[in-house]
């Protein structure tokens, strides 16, 4: 798996698809072609004339849209896929932060990033922020960057280290040397650390390093029991809230904190599946919309949940609408028109991510001159692929990762006809299994099973004043 930046190869044209431009007016263009030359979108129209030798892809019956952008994914944890399916956030913190996060070697981080990067591309996610808070040493960071640079996707390495204080690891010469050597090209950089709310503001030196290096900060904010309003206040009062700051979750903040984020131009990365299940707080899109805060979507970690943004869009719509109905019902009212629409979450999954990363001049929409990070949703073998009536609704509620027919990054085809191009899944499986074997043998069977199967809390069935003795008797003898 190599990135192949030496050239963009043949021009590509996607023919006769329904094009979701995600531009300023969210144009939907049925029966249109999109021509890509030298890695950029050069023309959008009907029956386009194309250069000789252009690679033609039949998009008829399908949807052409920008590649999706995930603004927060702990890719180093991918080899532990599904291990923590029944965890709470507390159990996640104990397992990774206190007990076993330290046993991940550089090669385990490398394996996780390879698997996570390929998984993202296969699902139509062309840009992923690797929220890499397992970088205990610069050797781990080198492994993470090597993996990302070997893949044909677009990635941002959000450098973090949960095993040390942000002020400590950002202040080392090794860290600065790593950033100076690895910056540039398709691999972007952020700093990833959290603000605990300690009045002494121990994270201040890390913010100063970020400012000195010209790097954006991404931080888990509004996480119930971990980070809250005090951290936002400290960031704001010390002048470290900026338009490029990405606040992850932000699910348990006050109106004051939301106002501060809105006033300073920051954005929030919402991981709805995570917030619903782990307990950071109720997925906050209803509050973010009320405060005018820009939104992007993310999947958090596959140690729990799925790794595709179709699930993110679907669950986000469900959570937002559920909240709207719940609050209306509490007042005796009925919601007759949904406030959050399918087209908005599709935009959050594409252009919203590009804006959060400061890449919206190049990515996130289908417009002439932009980089050709594109996907085609089409599955001629599925009855769910037709009829195609509401393209935005189809993407948000009907489509799945298996319906991603074609993926282009920088004009290069990385998935075609539903199959990844030039990816050795056998070798990737072997690498992942070797990492799992190391982790399992290090923990030991007992700790491994205990970690994967946490105790079930006792529950009490409420007393039922109704008894149906005859019914039960009848049911027993049927």
Query: Can you give the pLDDT at residue 331?
Result: 97
Strand 295-297: give its sheet, edge to edge. Answer: 68-73, 125-132, 154-159, 188-192, 216-221, 246-249, 267-270, 295-297
Query: Can you give the pLDDT at residue 47?
Result: 97
Summarised one tens digit per residue, pLDDT across range 55-86 is 999 999 999 999 999 999 999 999 999 999 99
Reference 190, options 313, 410, 359, 316; nearest CA is 359
- Contact (CB, 8 A) for 246 and 71: yes
d(CA 104, CA 422): 28
d(CA 379, CA 402): 8
Query: Can you give the pLDDT at residue 376?
Result: 98
Query: Can you give the pLDDT at residue 416?
Result: 97
Summarised one tens digit per residue, pLDDT across range 365-376 is 999 999 999 999
Query: Can you give the pLDDT at residue 24?
Result: 86
d(CA 261, CA 244): 11
Percent of the chain residues topping a pLDDT of 90: 92
Query: Can you give the pLDDT at residue 470?
Result: 62
Q: Is the pLDDT of residue 400 over 90?
A: yes
Summarised one tens digit per residue, pLDDT across range 209-265 is 999 999 999 999 999 999 999 999 999 999 999 999 999 999 999 999 999 999 999
Among 3-17, 183-197, 390-404, which is the least confidently predicted range? 3-17
Class of residue 477 by CB neighbours under 10 A (exposed 0-12, middle 13-18, buried 19+) = exposed
Summarised one tens digit per residue, pLDDT across range 296-322 is 999 999 999 999 999 999 999 999 999
Q: Is the pLDDT of residue 440 over 50?
A: yes
Could you tell me whether strands 295-297 and 188-192 are parallel, antiparallel, or unpaired per DSSP bridges? unpaired
Query: Can you give the pLDDT at residue 472?
Result: 55
Q: What is the pTM of this model?
A: 0.95
What are phi and psi for residue 24, nearest 5 degrees?
Answer: -60, -25
Residue 356: HSE in the Cβ half-sphere, 13 Å Cα cutoff = 34
Average pLDDT across the chain, whole number: 95
Q: How far lies 274's CA from each of 202, 282, 341, in Å?
A: 27, 10, 21
Residue 164: HSE in the Cβ half-sphere, 13 Å Cα cutoff = 17
Number of other residues whose CB lies within 10 A of the CB of residue 312? 29
């Amino acid at each position: 798996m190599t990135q192949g930046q030496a050239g963009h190869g043949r021009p590509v044209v996607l023919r006769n698809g329904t094009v979701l431009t995600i531009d300023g007016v969210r144009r939907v263009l049925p029966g249109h072609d999109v021509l890509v030359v030298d890695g950029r979108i050069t023309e959008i129209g009907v029956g386009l004339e194309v250069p000789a030798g252009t690679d033609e892809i039949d998009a008829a019956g399908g949807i052409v849209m920008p590649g999706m952008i995930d603004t927060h994914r702990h890719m180093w944890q991918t080899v532990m896929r599904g291990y923590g399916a029944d965890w709470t956030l507390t159990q996640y913190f104990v397992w990774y932060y206190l007990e076993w996060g330290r046993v991940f070697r550089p090669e385990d981080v490398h394996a996780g990033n390879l698997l996570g990067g390929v998984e993202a591309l296969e699902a139509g996610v062309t840009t992923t922020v690797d929220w890499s808070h397992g970088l205990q040493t610069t050797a781990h960071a080198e492994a993470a960057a090597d993996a990302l640079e070997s893949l044909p996707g677009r990635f941002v390495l959000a450098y973090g280290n949960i095993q040390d204080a942000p002020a400590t690891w950002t202040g080392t010469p090794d860290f600065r040397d790593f950033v100076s050597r690895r910056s540039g090209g398709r691999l972007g950089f952020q700093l990833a650390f959290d603000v605990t709310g300690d009045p002494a503001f121990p994270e201040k030196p890390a913010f100063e390093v970020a400012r000195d290096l010209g790097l954006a900060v991404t931080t888990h904010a509004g996480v119930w029991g971990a980070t809250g309003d005090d951290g936002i206040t400290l960031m704001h009062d010390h002048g470290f809230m900026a338009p490029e700051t990405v606040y992850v979750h932000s699910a348990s903040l006050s109106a004051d904190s939301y106002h501060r984020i809105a006033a300073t131009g920051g954005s929030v990365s919402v991981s709805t599946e995570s917030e619903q299940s782990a307990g950071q707080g109720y997925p906050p899109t209803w509050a973010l919309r009320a405060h005018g805060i820009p939104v992007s979507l993310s999947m958090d970690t596959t140690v729990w949940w799925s790794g595709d943004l179709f699930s993110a869009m679907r669950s986000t719509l469900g959570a937002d609408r559920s909240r709207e109905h719940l609050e209306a019902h509490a007042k005796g009212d009925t919601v007759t028109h949904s406030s959050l629409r399918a087209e908005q979450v599709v935009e959050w999954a594409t252009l919203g991510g590009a804006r959060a990363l400061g890449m919206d001049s190049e990515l996130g929409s289908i417009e002439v001159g932009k980089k050709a990070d594109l996907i085609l949703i089409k599955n001629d073998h599925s009855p769910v692929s037709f009829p195609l009536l509401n393209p935005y609704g189809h993407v948000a509620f009907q489509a799945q990762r298996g319906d991603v027919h074609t993926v282009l990054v920088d004009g290069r085809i990385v998935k075609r006809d539903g199959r990844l191009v030039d990816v050795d899944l056998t070798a990737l499986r072997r690498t992942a299994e070797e990492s799992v074997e190391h982790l399992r043998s290090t923990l030991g069977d007992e700790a491994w099973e205990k970690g994967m199967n946490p105790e079930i809390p006792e529950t009490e069935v409420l007393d039922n004043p109704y008894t149906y003795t005859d019914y039960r008797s009848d049911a027993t003898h049927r």
